[in-house]
């Protein structure tokens, strides 16, 4: 198709750059406007997960389909250790990777730098410290607007044994979890919560102390620290004034564990496709994610309602299934009963568009109905 001006994209995160790469491959001129001075500026070189269990299509096949090369740090995840609140641990494995570790931030080998290089090789013009008004954009990929979940993380140099640990304890990570990854000389520890955001530092310190009692990892070398947050909402449309909202700017996010990279890449590619083929963007993402958002909401409701007893059962059941990817895949399959639970969650956490999420009318969780936080007290053993 011909256009009298370049396609304009606001934001140079994974969603914006995935769209830019697809558009450039189709022969279109593309401008990406990024308000910060580099890609991934809100991240710290941390290890994150590109999940490969929410869909039957593996993440590697998805990347090939949307034209993204894996010329960045990209390590298969086939094992992990899960910990419950009583210190019981469960080792899990999968034959096919349940995800892929990537690095985020303005560092060599990161997903962000890799996508930037691919976009530029395709002829995309990327303008840093350039803020594009969404009203002037064809695609809006500006990231989350308001927090539904908050995380504090540290990244550090590490050696010794490799670690993929996930800790489930509502007392020190309300509504969330903490994690320790040590892979290929890089370590990341994080604590993610969905409520009581003002106490994130206290929850982080308690989570780190609990993790150190299990694995005394040295986190002090070349330490970097940062915060990040995520958005989730269920929308009727992801377009506003002709602009297509992608990634977390459009509320596309997993609400169970907060893994949003796959959503970002997929919706960026779909927005590009809507321009290339002159198709309706809303119709494309609805076909790609027919019930994914409500399944994610149902899982989030179950996660919080079950408490530590339920999370301990989740961990124990993982040990009974021979393949961890299949176990995660089962949790993320749409079913009639998950639809019913999602409807209950929407009534219980009712908030119809009264927040900073965009675009248009949507459902998002009201601040008044956030996870009920237990009193912040000492960790056992302190």
pLDDT at 147: 85
| Domain assignment present for 58 | yes
The stretch 68-89 carries a mean pLDDT of 96
| Domain assignment present for 201 | no
| Domain assignment present for 108 | yes
| Domain assignment present for 360 | no
Higher-scoring residue by pLDDT: 14, 381 = 14
**pLDDT(380) > 50:** no
How would residue 324 be classed by pLDDT, with cut points 50, 70 and 90? very high
The stretch 24-48 carries a mean pLDDT of 96
Contact predicate 49/260, CB 8 Å: no
How would residue 362 be classed by pLDDT, with cut points 50, 70 and 90? confident
Alpha helices in 141-291 (DSSP H): 200-214, 261-276, 281-288
Residue 95: which H helix or E strand, with range? none
How would residue 372 be classed by pLDDT, with cut points 50, 70 and 90? low
Question: For residue 131, what is the domain's CATH number?
Answer: 3.50.50.60
Evaluated on CA atoms 232, 264, 116, 48, the torsion sign reads positive
- Which residues on neighbouring strands pair with residue 83, listed in sequence order? 89, 167
pLDDT at 381: 39
User: Residue 56: exposed, middle, or buried by beta-carbon count in 10 A (0-12, 13-18, 19+)?
Assistant: exposed
> Considering its fold, how many domains does the chain have in total?
1
How would residue 361 be classed by pLDDT, with cut points 50, 70 and 90? confident
| Domain assignment present for 182 | no
Beta-strand relationship, 30-34 and 125-128: parallel
Q: What percent of the chain has pLDDT over 90?
A: 81
pLDDT at 243: 96
Beta-strand relationship, 139-140 and 7-10: parallel
Half-sphere exposure of 56 (CA within 13 A, CB side): 3
Domain extent at residue 126: 7-78+98-146+231-288
How would residue 364 be classed by pLDDT, with cut points 50, 70 and 90? confident
Q: Residue 214: phi, psi to the nearest 5? A: -90, -45
Q: And the tokens for 271?
A: 């927005």
Q: What is the pTM of this model?
A: 0.94
Q: Residue 331: which residues within 8 A CB-CB, separation 6 or more?
A: 256, 299
Task: Write out pLDDT tens, residues 186-200.
Answer: 999 999 999 889 999
pLDDT at 3: 66
pLDDT at 4: 78
61: left (phi over 0), alpha (psi -120 to 50) or beta: alpha
| Domain assignment present for 106 | yes
pLDDT at 365: 85
Beta-strand relationship, 243-245 and 163-167: unpaired
| Domain assignment present for 185 | no
The stretch 281-293 carries a mean pLDDT of 94
Average pLDDT taken over every residue of the chain: 92
| Domain assignment present for 91 | no
Task: Write out pLDDT tens, residues 227-272.
Answer: 999 989 899 899 999 999 999 999 999 999 999 999 999 999 999 9
219: left (phi over 0), alpha (psi -120 to 50) or beta: alpha
How would residue 26 be classed by pLDDT, with cut points 50, 70 and 90? very high
Residue 86: which H helix or E strand, with range? none
The stretch 161-180 carries a mean pLDDT of 95
How would residue 354 be classed by pLDDT, with cut points 50, 70 and 90? low
**pLDDT(53) > 60:** yes
């Amino acid at each position: 198709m011909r256009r009298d001006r370049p396609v304009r994209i606001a934001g140079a995160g994974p969603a914006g750059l995935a769209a830019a790469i697809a558009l450039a491959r189709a022969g279109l001129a593309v401008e990406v406007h990024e308000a910060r001075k580099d890609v991934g500026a809100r991240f710290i070189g941390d290890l994150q997960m590109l999940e490969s269990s929410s869909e039957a299509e593996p993440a590697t096949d998805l990347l090939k389909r949307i034209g993204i090369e894996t010329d960045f740090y990209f390590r298969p995840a086939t094992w992990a250790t899960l910990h419950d609140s009583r210190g019981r641990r469960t080792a899990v494995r999968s034959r096919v990777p349940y995800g892929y570790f990537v690095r985020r931030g303005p560092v060599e080998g990161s997903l962000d730098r890799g996508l930037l290089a691919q976009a530029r090789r395709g002829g995309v013009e990327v303008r840093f410290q350039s803020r594009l008004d969404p009203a002037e954009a064809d695609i809006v990929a500006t990231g989350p607007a308001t927090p539904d979940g908050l995380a504090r993380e540290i990244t550090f140099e590490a050696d010794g044994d490799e670690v993929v640990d996930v800790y489930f304890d509502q007392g020190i990570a309300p509504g969330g979890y903490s994690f320790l990854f040590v892979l290929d000389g890089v370590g990341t520890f994080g604590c993610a919560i969905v409520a009581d955001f003002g106490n994130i530092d206290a929850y982080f310190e308690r989570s780190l102390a609990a993790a150190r009692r299990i694995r005394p990892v040295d986190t002090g070398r070349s330490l970097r620290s940062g915060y990040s947050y995520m958005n989730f909402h269920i929308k009727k449309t992801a377009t506003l004034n002709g602009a297509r909202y992608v990634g977390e700017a459009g509320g596309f996010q997993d609400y169970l564990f907060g893994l949003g990279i796959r959503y970002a890449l997929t919706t960026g590619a779909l927005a590009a496709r809507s321009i290339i083929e002159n198709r309706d963007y809303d119709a494309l993402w609805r076909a790609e994610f027919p019930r994914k958002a409500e399944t994610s909401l149902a899982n989030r409701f179950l996660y919080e309602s079950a408490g530590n007893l339920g999370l301990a059962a989740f961990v124990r059941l993982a040990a009974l299934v021979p393949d961890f990817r299949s176990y995660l895949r089962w949790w993320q399959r749409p079913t009639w009963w998950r639809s019913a639970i999602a409807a209950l969650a929407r009534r219980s956490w009712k908030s119809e568009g009264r927040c900073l999420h965009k675009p248009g009318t949507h459902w998002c969780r009201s601040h008044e109905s956030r996870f009920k936080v237990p009193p912040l007290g000492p960790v056992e053993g302190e």
